[in-house]
Structure 1
Amino acid sequence: MKVLIRAAIALVVAFVAALVCLLSVVLVDADADATEISGSGGGLKGVPEEFRTWILKASAACSEPELAPALLAAQLYQESKFQTQATSGAGAQGPAQFMPGTWATWGRDDDGNGSASPWDIGDAVMSQGRMMCSLIKQAKSSGYGGDVRALALAGYNAGWGAVERYSGVPPKSFSGGETYNYVQIILSTMVRFQGSGLLSVSGSGSGADALRRAATQIGTPYSWGGGSPAGPSTGFCDGTNGYLNGSCSASSTVGFDCSSLAQYSYWPSIHLPRTAAAQYGATSDRPVSRQDLKVGDLLFWSHGSSGSIYHVALYAGDGNVVQAPRTGRDIELAPLTSAMPASDYYGATRP
């Protein structure tokens, strides 16, 4: 299939981390200054693991809420069935089916491996996301009727000129119905890839902004020592942590541990330290009682003292959390009361 424009953003290798920890983000509902959270349909399921993080990252990088992870996943499936070596008779290449001329203009080395290649999953998916984000914005400003996602998909497949020609999605008579069917198939198969929803966060302030940023990472794997202010990355094993079924999982898992996600969430407005204990130390002069928690407050769990803190969470109210529980699991929704042992709750602070 013809694909015309691509661009992307880079994934940066992580900080080297310390303490074992988990991150939680808690859902809120309530006061005037609270953050209202509802399911956004932004979850993801049924995609190969090597595509998952990149799809979530590409979706999160776009300010347009219509670019849900499931839309990108359904589009990738239609383009290549997630096959990295896919080609077309027209000369399109890779999982997102870039034409060489388009790639020469828009390709980027988003996975940081030293080359920009349409065959690389990270490079391809991030470029797909950037193009779709741009096309959605163009669709919104065009004044054409219909679903902006459909207009963007048509532009991706046939070029925006075809959308302009018909003031909308080209009809079945155009190009043997290829573009029309392309749009219909992707929109109808999105449900196949929709997992439990990411959180759509409204509200303002540093706490709401941090929660909003953290919420984009729901579904990202836990990786001991992984993650940085730049995003998810592979971690490491230290002899005790990071192992799954006897093997070092962290070194091959792109994700976050709890304190790196807390750090990522507040960056760059607030530069939190890297570990959970250090984050408590940096904010302990602003303690918050459990009854007075507000969106974005940091919650800590410990084995007995400030030096034994092993878990940090972002508060969002209403008694729920999104957490990265441990190696082998993803950042997920869970009740605050069961996120960690209740007896280990140490306290909360406000960054």
Structure 2
Amino acid sequence: MDSGDSSTGPVAVACIAFITVAAVFAAPFLTLGLAIADGGVEPSSSGLTGVPDEYLADVQRAGSICAEVTPQIIAAQLDAESGWNPTATSSAGAQGIAQFMPGTWEAHGMDGDGDDKADILNAHDAIWSQGNYMCRLVEEVKALKANGTVSGDVTELALAAYNAGVGAVRDHGGIPPYQETRRYVERIIEWARTKYTMSRGGMAVGQLSPKLVMLDDTQIDIAAMNIAATWYGGPSGYTYKQCTWWAASRRQNIGRPVDAHMGNGGYWVESARRLGYQYGKDPQPGDVMTIRPGTLGSDATYGHVAVVEQVDADGGIVISESGSILPAPILTRYSRTQLDAVRDNIWFIH
């Protein structure tokens, strides 16, 4: 994302619209934030923790449908509803891990595991249905907020609607004054923040050596890693915080080849060819991921670069990336499906 001809060196400019800022909020399948697993990082969202292994993938998926309903909210809600019991029933007739009433299930139950059935007692179906239903409630309470009928936090209003119904939220102009509903909302918000969120400040993550040191769930502590908050390669190189600065700095940090004059991020593969660096289409830990302009939400002129910190067994990758509008470099994950969809416009410099 630095400007400049790849053969003569870049002219420094601000690293503006890039992948994470441009795309993460527009693409629900892109998850920011990762949980620690076996010395690496495991895809989740904002450090998800505490979820039973058999439901982890379901919770992550259901918590990636809309921004207001995170995996942590889904997890805390399931805990509050049933204590993770897939066959739970209530005196009121609610059933399953997400405690759907039969009438609500009839209208909103979905097949979550691909067996062509929507079973209220199938936890995979119920969790997927919960995420979709919660996001539907989000849209309903947003509409009520837009016309001035209700006020309050959208996620809290949606939780109240899940517990007491949208009609009760509408009639009371917000969270209803029911002790049960208010306690329900407060408990889920608190559990999502504490019980189901992992703090990673000071922890080391990734498959590379040295590992990344984290400031928090998403931001990288460059000071702890002895990476300088200054130009890379001097004033004719890469400006601090730009995507190219981070890619070059991290590559130097792990002892991989890099040059201070590789040009715009989206065209580093041409510079790699010129410099004799190996490159290809299949990612390996430590690779630079170079992304053509406009691909995956990158800048339409400069493109983007990032560093592959981990390659998962399913073919997805975890990258570290930077940009001038971020307070620090961050982590992002792309699935194998996402990478395959843009294969013609990305390269990996080994």
- Tell me the TM-score normalised to structure 2 length: 0.51
2:16 aligns with 32
Query: Which residue number corresponds to residue 323 of structure 1?
Result: 310
The reply on whether 1:166 has 2:134 as its aligned counterpart is no
Question: Does the CA contact (< 8 Å) of 1:84 and 1:119 recur in 2?
Answer: yes
Equivalent position to 2:142, from 129, 132, 140 = 140
Q: 1:55 aligns with which of 59, 64, 68?
A: 59
What SS does the corresponding residue of 2:19 show, helix, strand or coil?
coil
Residue of 164, 187, 190 corresponding to 1:188 = 190
Q: 1:183 to 1:331 in 2, by over 3 A?
A: farther
8 Å CA contact 1:155–1:162 kept in 2: the answer is: yes
SS in 2 for 1:149: helix
Output the CA distance in 2 between the equivalents of 1:163 and 1:325: 43
Q: What amino acid maps onto 2:58 in structure 1?
A: W
Which residue matches 1:179?
181
Q: TM-score, normalised by structure 1?
A: 0.51
Q: Do the aligned partners of 2:308 and 2:320 also contact (CA within 8 Å) in 1? A: yes
Distance across 2 between alignment mates of 1:188 and 1:331: 31
1:128 to 127, 130, 133: 130
Question: Are the counterparts in 2 of residues 155 and 163 from structure 1 also a CA contact under 8 Å?
Answer: yes
Query: What is the correspondence of 1:162-311 to structure 2 with a 5 Å cutoff?
Result: 162-172=168-178, 177-191=179-193, 192-195=195-198, 291-292=262-263, 294=265, 311=284
1:45 aligns with 2:49: yes
**Contact between 1:107 and 1:117, CA under 8 Å: does it hold in 2?**
yes
Tell me, in whole angstroms, the C-alpha distance in 1 between the residues paired with 2:172 and 2:138.
17
Could you tell me which runs of 5 or more consecutive residues in structure 2 were left unpaired when the two chains were aligned.
1-12, 25-31, 34-44, 201-217, 219-259, 291-297, 299-303, 323-342
Deviation of 1:195 after TM superposition, in Å, equals: 3.6
CA drift of 1:35 comes to 3.1
Q: SS at 1:123's partner residue?
A: helix
Please state how far the C-alpha of 1:305 moved relative to its aligned partner.
Answer: 8.1
Q: Give the secondary-structure state (helix, strand or coil) at the position aligned to 1:323.
A: strand
Q: For 2:159, which of 145, 153, 159 is the aligned residue?
A: 153
Separation in structure 1 between the aligned mates of residue 19 and residue 159 of structure 2, nearest angstrom: 32
Per-residue deviation, 1:138? 1.6
Supply the AA of the counterpart residue of 2:15.
D
Q: CA separation in 1, counterparts of 2:124 and 2:62?
A: 9
Q: CA deviation at 1:139?
A: 1.6
When the two chains are superposed, the root-mean-square deviation of aligned CA atoms in Å is: 4.1
**Any conservation in 1 of the 2:160–2:176 contact (CA below 8 Å)?**
yes
Q: What's the secondary structure of 1:145's corresponding residue?
A: coil
> What is the identity percentage for the equivalent residue pairs of Structure 1 and Structure 2?
35
Structure 2 residue corresponding to 1:75, chosen from 74, 77, 83: 77
What is the distance in 1 between the residues matched to 2:282 and 2:138?
44
Aligned counterparts of 1:334 and 1:322: Cα–Cα separation in 2: 6
- Letter of the 1:85 counterpart: T
Distance 1:297 1:183, change over 3 A: farther
Query: Are residues 296 and 117 of structure 1, via their aligned partners in 2, closer, same or farther at CA, if it must alter by over 3 Å?
Result: farther
Instruction: Please say if residues 34 and 295 of structure 1, whose CA atoms lie closer than 8 Å, have aligned partners that are also in contact.
Output: no
For residue 86 of structure 1, report the CA deviation from its aligned partner.
1.2
- Distance in 1 separating the partners of 2:264 and 2:59: 33
Please give the per-residue CA displacement for 1:40-76, whole angstroms capped at 9, x wherever unaligned: 76331110122111121122232xx211111111111
The Cα of 1:326 is off from its aligned counterpart by 4.6
Question: Shift of the alpha carbon at 1:185?
Answer: 0.5
Whether the 8 Å contact between 2:159 and 2:185 is mirrored in structure 1 is yes
Query: Residues 138 and 84 of structure 1: is their aligned pair in 2 closer, same or farther, counting only changes over 3 Å?
Result: same
SS at match of 1:291: coil
- Structure 1 residue 180: deviation in Å? 1.1
Q: Deviations over 1:253-286 (max 9, x none)?
A: xxxxxxxxxxxxxxxxxxxxxxxxxxxxxxxxxx
Question: Counterparts of 1:56 and 1:107 in 2: how far apart (Å)?
Answer: 18
What is the CA deviation profile of residues 282-335 of structure 1, one whole-angstrom value per residue up to 9, with x for unaligned ones?
xxxxxxx9934647999x9xxx988996748755867544533458x9965669
Consecutive unaligned residues of structure 1, counting only runs of 5 or more, are 1-28, 198-217, 219-288, 337-347
Q: Which residue of 2 aligns with 1:210?
A: none
Distance 2:162 2:321 in 1: 41
Q: How many residues align?
A: 213
- Secondary structure at 2:262 match in 1: helix
Q: CA 1:94/1:318 → structure 2, altered by over 3 Å: closer, same or farther?
A: same
Matched to 2:55, the amino acid is F
Counterpart amino acid of residue 75 in structure 1: Q
